[in-house]
Amino acid sequence: MNQPSRKVVRFDQWIDRSFDRILSEAPGVSLDVARIADGAVANRARLAAADVYQISSVRDEVPAALQVSAELLAQCPQLLCVSTTGAGYDTVDVQACSHAGVLVVNQAGANANSVAEHALCLMLAVSRRIGECAWRMRHDTGYAREDLMGHELRGKTLGIVGLGHIGRLTARMAAAFGMRVMACDPYLDAAEISARGAEKVGLAELLAVADILSVHCPLTAETRGLFDASAYASMKPGAIFISTARGGIHDENALQAALASGHLAGAGLDVWETEPPAHSHPLLALHNVIPSYHIAGVTHEARRNVATMAAEQILCLMAGQRPARMINPEVWPRVLERLDRS
C-alpha cells in the first residue's frame, strides 16, 4: 500500500538549502514554502493542511498569530509535529502541543560548536577590551596602549549556567585556555558535570567565585529573569557577564546599572529582550559591552547542520521512527497512533 503524502510547511525565511533538498528528494513528502507577507489568515489556512510545521525559534522572526498556540493548533487538526530551526522553542507553546498530541522537536546540538566559539569570542573581546580599543582608535587621540590593558583568560574561573550541548563545548574550549571551569545545572549530578568538564556548584557559589559567567540555559518559566539586580550584586566584583542563551534570562536594565556602577567589569551579549535592540539601548552606549545580534549560531556550518538535522528528523518521524530531539517525548505514542490512522 502506498504511504500517504505528508505536507511540510515552512515560511519564506532564510534556511540552508539542504532542508529543501533533503525533503524534495524524499518520496511522499511535499514542501509548501509560505510567504509571511500573505498574512495570518491565508497562512493559517495553509497550516491547516500541514502535517509538519517548520518554524523559526526566534520570537521576533514569527508574527504572533503564526506562533504555535492553543488557538492555532485548534485550526490545524492534521498537525503531527512542530520542528524549530534551532535549539530554542520560544515560538512554541509546548504544553498546548502536548495537549493536542503534537510532537515538538528542536535541533539541539547542531549549532553547539558555533555558539560555544562565539561565547569564547565574547569572553576574549571583553577581557582584552577590544570594543573600547576599536572605538578609541577611530575617535580618540593621546592615549597609550597601557590605557587599554586587559586580562588573560588563563587562570580565571569560568562559571557556566547550563551544561548541555553548548555548555559542555564551552567548558572544553575554556579548559584549553587554561581556565578553571565550574558549572550550575540542576538537571545533572556531580559525576555527569565532571564528565562534561566542570565542577558542580550551586548558583550562589557560582556567582560568588566566577571571574566570567557564561549563560547557556534555555528560556523557561524557571529561568526568565534569573539574572536580576540581586544576582548581579552577588557576582564577584570585577566579573564579566556573557550570554549567548536567550533574551529574557537576564534583566537588561539591572545589568546596565551593575556595569555603570563599576561592580561588573564588562559584558558580552548576543541575545536581547527585543532583537535587534534599539540604537538608543543604554547597554549599547557602554564601551565595556560587546554586543552582537543573535549571531552566535549563525555560521554557514551551523545553519547547514541545523537544516540537515531538521529535515532528517522530519523524515524519521514520517517513517514512524523516534526522532532524537523531542521536547515533549511523552506524546510520541499518540503521534504514532495518529500516523497509523492517517
Please report the DSSP string for 46-81 in residue order: HHTT-SEEEE-S-GGGS-GGGSB-HHHHHT-TT--E
If asked whether residues 194 and 68 sit together in one domain, one would say: no
CA 330 remoteness from chain centre: 23
Check whether residue 156 and residue 233 sit in a common domain.
Answer: yes
For residues 245 and 117, membership in a common domain is answered with yes
What is the reported pLDDT for 18? 96
* List 275, 281, 304, 338, catalytic entry: 275
Strand order in the sheet with 52-55: 29-34, 6-11, 52-55, 81-84, 103-105
Which of 235, 193, 230 shows the shortest CA–CA distance to 214?
Answer: 235
Q: Is 1 within a domain?
A: no
Span 6-43, pLDDT tens digits: 999 999 999 999 999 999 999 999 999 999 999 999 99
Say if residue 105 is in the same domain as residue 116: no
Quick one: 85 and 192 in the same domain? no
In this prediction, residue 222 carries a pLDDT of 92
Q: What is the pLDDT of residue 4?
A: 61
Does any domain span residue 146?
yes
Amino acid in the structure at residue 308: T
Number of domains in the chain: 2
Mark whether 312 is an active-site residue: no
In the block, cell 597609550 appears at: 144
Omega prior to 276 cis, within 30 of 0 = yes
Give every residue of the chain whose pLDDT is below 70, as ranges: 1-4
Residue 2's pLDDT is: 52
Give catalytic status of residue 129 as yes or no. no
pLDDT of res. 194: 97
Residue 154 appears among annotated catalytic residues: no
Q: What is the CA radius of gyration of the chain?
A: 22
Co-location of 152 and 96 in the same domain: no
What CATH number is associated with residue 141?
3.40.50.720
The pLDDT value given to residue 271: 96
Using a cut of 0.85, tell me whether the model's pTM lies above it: yes
Out of 6, 46, 129, 294, the active site residue is: 294
pLDDT for res 90: 87
What pLDDT shows up at residue 1?
38
Domain that holds residue 120: 112-291
- Out of 6, 10, 46, 246, which one is annotated catalytic? 246
